[in-house]
Amino acid sequence: MSKTRLCVVTHTFLPHVGGIEKVVYEQCKRLMKKQFEPTVVTHRNYTAKNYMVDGIPVKCYESVNVGFRLGIPYAVPHISSFKTFLEAVKSSDLIHVHGHPYLSSLIGAKIAKEYGKPVVLTQHNTFIEYENSLWDHAEWLNDCLIGRETLKAADKIVVVSRATQDYVLSLGADPKRIRVLHNGVDIDHFKPLAGVKEEMRKKLGIPKSVTVVLTVRRIVYKNGVDTLIESAEKAIQKNPHLVFLVVGKGPDFAKVKEKIAQLRLQEKFRLIGFVSDDELPLCYNASDFFVLPSKSGEGLPLVALEAMACGLPVIATNVGGIAEIVKGEYGKLVPPDSPEILAEAILEFSGREWNTLRKELRFMIEQKYSWDKNVEKLVEIYEELI
């Protein structure tokens, strides 16, 4: 049986680290085991023109990388890149583009339509609000000029949450073309690990007796680390046996570090920096619960699923699609930008016993949110078009 040639267009891909990159990687890795031959088309970001990631071929186009240093990863393809898109689309049977606002998605989709190739679009996030409202206006304008056209060109629109569905509907997407497909998690990689908590805490110099609160975030305004710092200060005043760990880097790293120093929280609020995917399960397993303090833009955050797969209960701001997975006794939602309420939730979780619920939480993730289940449903969507 011949395989379906799949062209996957994503504005960024590994080794650049991010949510969309991880989704594309996890899906392509599993699609290769089925009847598909995926090739990823992405912008060239300090890589070779063509390279491989675990057997996944990657073809790069040249671009102007606008806004990356500002925490806005938006690559504008050079005119010369058209040939890369054209060759990739013409040699494929199905085109899957990621992210409606990107020029790469629009170019890939438009060329596909010209050559009669079916197009699937995955939309990952809801509207992102920036600290500078000028960027909000730029995003809205881009949605109108680029995003709407990409949505029109898609034969199927995959959204990672119902909140994301509402977002694309507000931009005029055809509701008949939309499918909700929640993100997944690698349940073999992210899982409870015996003995790791003591080992990691010793390595980090954290006493066994304290409660460790973890977040894994790119340190930019929308991800709310500033709110978490304010909440930590309030919570520590009432419970000095709390230690906060922040895994991640980003353009606001220095600003966040300065704020921690001003509040004299260096021992209680620790910036770990970048941690590789291989070592990330160790951080989850060293912790007692997870906090997601986002301000906006969340579709269905992978880090929440990873934390839950490791048995961690989650406190999250009620932003985007997070409410669709954080529910029941092992989750709590709070309003965004509300440090007092978030601090109260942290204190509540620090006083609870979680052992039984951790097992229930892990079982739920295994049943509903593995990448294997995600890709099975994705293949069903593909098969409607080929």
Cβ atoms within 10 Å, residue 187: 20
Q: What pLDDT score was predicted for residue 328?
A: 84
Domain boundaries for CATH 3.40.50.2000 within the chain: 4-184+370-383, 196-368
Please report the pLDDT score of residue 349 as a whole number: 97
Bridge-based pairing of strands 4-10 and 63-66 is: unpaired
Query: Whose CA is closest to 322, among 340, 343, 352, 300?
Result: 300
In the CATH hierarchy, which fold is given to the domain comprising 196-368? Rossmann fold (3.40.50)
| 297 phi-psi bin (left φ>0, alpha ψ -120 to 50, beta other) | left
pLDDT of residue 1: 63
Model confidence over 9-41: pLDDT tens digits?
A: 999 999 999 999 999 999 999 999 999 999 999
What is the reported pLDDT for 141? Answer: 95
Residue pLDDT, tens place only, 303-325: 999 999 999 999 999 999 999 99
Does pTM top 0.85 for this prediction?
A: yes
Tell me yes or no: is domain 4-184+370-383 CATH 3.40.50.2000: yes
Which pLDDT value is given to residue 132? 85
CB 243 within 8 Å of CB 268: yes
